[in-house]
Amino acid sequence: MKTSVNGISINYRDEGRGIPVILIHAFPMNQAMWDDQVLALAPMCRMITLDLRGFGASDIPLGPYWMALMASDVRSLMARLGVEQAVLVGLSMGGYVAMSLFRNFPDSVSGLVLADTRAAADTQDGRERRLASAEKAEHHGVESIVDEMLQLLLSQTAIDTRPDVVNRARQIALQNRPEGVAAAQRGMAARPDSTEMLAIVDRPALVLVGSEDRLSTPEETRGWQERMPNSQLAIIQGAGHLSNIEQPEAFNSALADFIKTFPN
């Protein structure tokens, strides 16, 4: 379904009834990465997913896409759907957007699930690599960056033995356009450090990380999660960075247990 928010058309899905849960996708993915979660959890809660601006079937306005801008799109979508407060589930870039939404609209957030994401801003090297990748995507297409990204997004086991998982992630990434991918890279390069902000989050929080995540390692994740007063950590065994795609059952079960703690 499509609706207009902040002057652009956003593609979204809204399934199930009960407590609203908004799932915010990773880079360079789109809402299709949440298919297993929607199927498994829509019988117990209201699952809302969206293609962030620049991704999937949403509009691709000029960038950069600051995290606060994408957070404001999510907040406006909530308003459109009559959702005052939701549990936010953000994976990686989706986590940066969820953190920004909490920073700017804390009253809209009843709980936070941060999966395979990072509290820190980019290092100078990381920022430069990102800006170079944005240019590469613009000049040579999304396919020019996808294969090397998949090496980081998936566990070695998946790369070596699970062509279905590799193909699914690749197909989702290839549905995106270079302009949107580049604009999101530039926005992520400018994102603020959220370490101090997370330390004062008073909402219930679940932090998930794949045991084989190479981009946001379990060690790094534990470092900031331990400072979040009302949080718990769940390690998704045998998963890389896209832990919901690699190990959907373990991911769904941790998410369902967390959602059950909220009044319906």
Residue ranges in contact with ligand MLT by CB under 6 A = 26-27, 92-93, 188, 215, 241
CA 89 to chain centre: 7
Q: Which residue is nearest to ligand MLT (CB)?
A: 92
- DSSP per position, 147-165: HHHHHHHS-HHHHHH-HHH
Rg for the chain (alpha carbons), in Å?
Answer: 17
Q: Kindly tell me the burial class for residue 213, based on how many C-beta atoms sit within 10 Å of its own C-beta (0-12, 13-18, 19 or more).
A: buried
Compute the least distance from the CB of residue 93 to ligand MLT, in Å.
3
* Amino acid found at 28: P
Q: In what order do the strands lie in the sheet with 46-50?
A: 2-5, 8-15, 46-50, 20-24, 86-91, 109-115, 205-210, 231-236
Q: Which is nearer to ligand MLT, 188 or 228 (CB)?
A: 188
Could you tell me the smallest distance in angstroms from the CB atom of residue 58 to ligand MLT? 16
Shortest spacing between CB 120 and ligand MLT, in angstroms: 10
Nearer to ligand MLT, 245 or 259 (CB): 245
- For residue 37, the number of C-alpha atoms closer than 13 Å in the C-beta half-sphere is 32
Q: Closest CB to ligand MLT among 75 and 241?
A: 241
204: β partners: none
Residue closer to ligand MLT, measured from CB, 20 or 240? 240
Comparing CB distances to ligand MLT, the nearer of 111 and 187 is 187
CB of 1 to ligand MLT, least distance (A): 24
Task: Rank residues 45 and 213 by Cβ distance to ligand MLT and give the closer one.
Answer: 213
Cα atoms in the 13 Å half-sphere on the side-chain side of 39: 10
DSSP 3-state percent helix, strand, coil across the chain (nearest 5): 50, 20, 35
Q: Which of 161, 144, 145 is CA-nearest to residue 212? A: 161
Least separation in angstroms between CB 92 and ligand MLT: 3
- The residue (of 48 and 189) whose beta carbon lies closer to ligand MLT is 189
- Closest separation between CB of residue 249 and ligand MLT, Å? 21
d(CA 118, CA 122): 9
CB of 37 to ligand MLT, least distance (A): 16
